[in-house]
Amino acid sequence: MLGMFSNKNSRPASKSFQVVQAPDNDERADQTPVSDPGPDPTEASGEGLLHQPRRMVEIKVELHRQILDKMNLSIIDQMTPEEFKTRGGQLIRELLDEVEIPLNQNEKQQLVSELLDEIVGLGPLEPLLKDPTITDILVNTYDNVFIEREGKLYHTPVQFKDETHLRRIIDKIVSGVGRRLDESQPMVDARLPDGSRVNAVIPPVAVDGALLSIRKFSKIPIDLERLVELGAFPTAVAELLQGIVRSRRNVLISGGTGSGKTTMLNAMSAYIGESERIVTIEDAAELQLQQIHVVRMETRPPNIEDRGEVTQRDLVRNALRMRPDRIIVGEVRGGEAFDMLQAMNTGHEGSMTTIHANTCRDALSRLEQMIGMARLELNPLAMRQQVAAAIDVIIQVQRMSDGGRRLISLSEITGMEGQVITLQEIIRFERESTDEDGKIHGYHIGTGIRPNFIQEFQTRRIAFDDSVFDTHKRLE
């Protein structure tokens, strides 16, 4: 096979595989791809080994070992993925012909595909990563994997062979972005080549074994129109959000974990002008800005000698020297909040960021706490004045019990009254009912307050139907 495989030091293929009696129906784990929670399309092929997930994992691990024994690893690095899959697939089929595993043609092809995923991909996770309907993959130890689809969690039959197998996959992910994971640093944020966000935790912090969470990267960026289709808000609110971006208002997007903050930020950023220079700052790069003039920066953790760390605060400070028109921070978590507010107050209008908080008012309190993390000699009043001067609009998003993500409040900061930042709610979501399937029904309404930023719409000649602000008008 053109020198790819060397048999010089390889061991002969194992003949130790034995046919195992398929378990009873109540013990058989469904191997249906997770994208289809319905009947298993392979049932018609009989009670083969593919219906025994633990046995198949063991077989794949053994074949994987044999394949690596036979491969000339130095040549693999010189091959494209397509070339490797062609030649690697040939070797796997040869091995399958040598061992005694009763598989039909479809089952054999599936096993070849899974073994290739094991070598060049992320093993058992590959089918989940390829499924466009899955948004989150949650590995709660090696034999317990969940996915999220349409806002709801489902348990899957996917599993790793053991803890070592899972750790090997995690190491492959984190090493690919120059990060490390060990007992001295048992938690890490990383990303996959496609931009999917990854968090991994290992013992001793993870008590029962390694944990892995993957927030998948959408191949097609979600825009405001798509969010309207998904029921996040009506068209009238989408037009208002477009106007807020085009009028260069500084925006803070608030919400809980998985509520859609980054999705909202991505969708709104699409309306930034092509002539503007945008600098993005993230812990793990996941924003999907489509403009031509985007400068992306990502933090870096310390090395094994505890040196070389680059924080979000370092990046925000550096961004100010890069002649940005707008600065977008993926999420403020600490002292960088102060530097971000300084940027918003010094000519970088139209900047945006996100924050973890449950209400618009809570977001202000959290921001104040983060300014305190900068260890500056600022009293509470001075902090609040910074916030009130920098932020124009707060958007609150929420993942609801039916799995839907919705904009539930849009508020404007109007200034200070004494030592309190004043907020006025412009749009809110009114919940009506929950049907038998658990789906939440409701609508968005205007509160009757006309925001101050509407004057900027007029100055910039942004067309907008201001009837959206009519008192208790149901928006469509």
Report the pLDDT averaged over residues 182-196: 87
State residue 43's pLDDT score: 37
Question: Which tokens sit at 168?
Answer: 């090997």
The alpha carbon of residue 29 and the mean position of all alpha carbons in its chain are separated, in whole angstroms, by 29
Is pLDDT above 70 for 45? no
Q: In this predicted model, what pLDDT tens digit does every residue of 97-154 receive, in sequence order? A: 776 666 677 777 777 777 777 777 788 898 899 888 899 999 999 999 999 998 889 9
Task: Report, as an integer, the average pLDDT of 200-221.
Answer: 90
Cα distance between residue 216 and residue 211, in whole Å: 16
Best CA proximity match to 232, nearest among 14, 405, 428: 405
**CA geometry: angle at 242 spanning 289 and 417, to 5°?**
110
Question: Stretch 81-108: mean pLDDT, rounded?
Answer: 72
More confident site: 202 or 64: 202
Task: Give the model's confidence band at 28: pLDDT under 50 very low, under 70 low, under 90 confident, else very high.
Answer: very low
Protein fold of 224-469: Rossmann fold (3.40.50)
Whole-number pLDDT of residue 31 = 39
Instruction: Return the CA Rg of the chain.
Output: 26
pLDDT at 375: 82
Q: What is the mean pLDDT of residues 434-449?
A: 91
Q: Is a pLDDT exceeding 60 seen at residue 62?
A: yes
Using a pLDDT cut of 70, give the percent of the chain over it.
Answer: 82
Spell out the residues 6+ positions from residue 407 whose beta carbon is closer than 8 angstroms to its own: 232, 233, 237, 264, 395, 396, 397, 427, 429, 444
Comparison of pLDDT for 24 and 58, the residue scoring more: 58
Distance CA 447, CA 455 (A): 18
Q: Do domains 121-217 and 224-469 have the same CATH topology?
A: no
**Averaged pLDDT for residues 383-387:** 92
Q: For residue 21, what pLDDT is reported?
A: 34
pLDDT tens per residue, range 243-271: 999 999 999 999 998 899 999 999 999 99
pLDDT above 70: residue 467: yes
pLDDT of residue 446: 93
Burial-class residue 137 by CB neighbours within 10 Å (0-12, 13-18, 19+): buried
pLDDT at residue 456 above 60?
yes
pLDDT at 302: 82
Looking at the chain, the whole-number percentage of residues with pLDDT higher than 90 is: 45
3-state percent breakdown (helix, strand, coil) of the chain, nearest 5: 35, 20, 45
- pLDDT at 15 (0 to 100): 37
Contact 198, 292 (CB under 8 A): no
More confident residue, 1 or 239: 239
Residue 55: per-residue pLDDT = 65
pLDDT at 210: 95
Task: Report the C-alpha gap between 285 and 214 in whole angstroms.
Answer: 13
Read off the pLDDT of residues 278-325 as tens digits, 9 standing for 90 and up: 999 988 777 888 889 999 998 888 877 778 889 999 999 999 999 999
| Amino acid 3: pLDDT | 40
pLDDT at 418 over 70: yes
The least confident of 317-321, 445-449, 472-476 is 472-476
The domains of the chain are located at: 1-120, 121-217, 224-469
- Checking if the pLDDT of 372 tops 90, the result is no
Average pLDDT in the chain: 82
Contacts of residue 229, Cβ cutoff 8 Å, sequence gap at least 6: none
Say what the pLDDT of residue 69 is.
65
pLDDT of residue 32: 40
- In this predicted model, which residue has the larger pLDDT, 86 or 416? 416
pLDDT at 192 over 80: yes
The dotted CATH code for 121-217 is 3.30.450.370
Quote the pLDDT of residue 229: 93
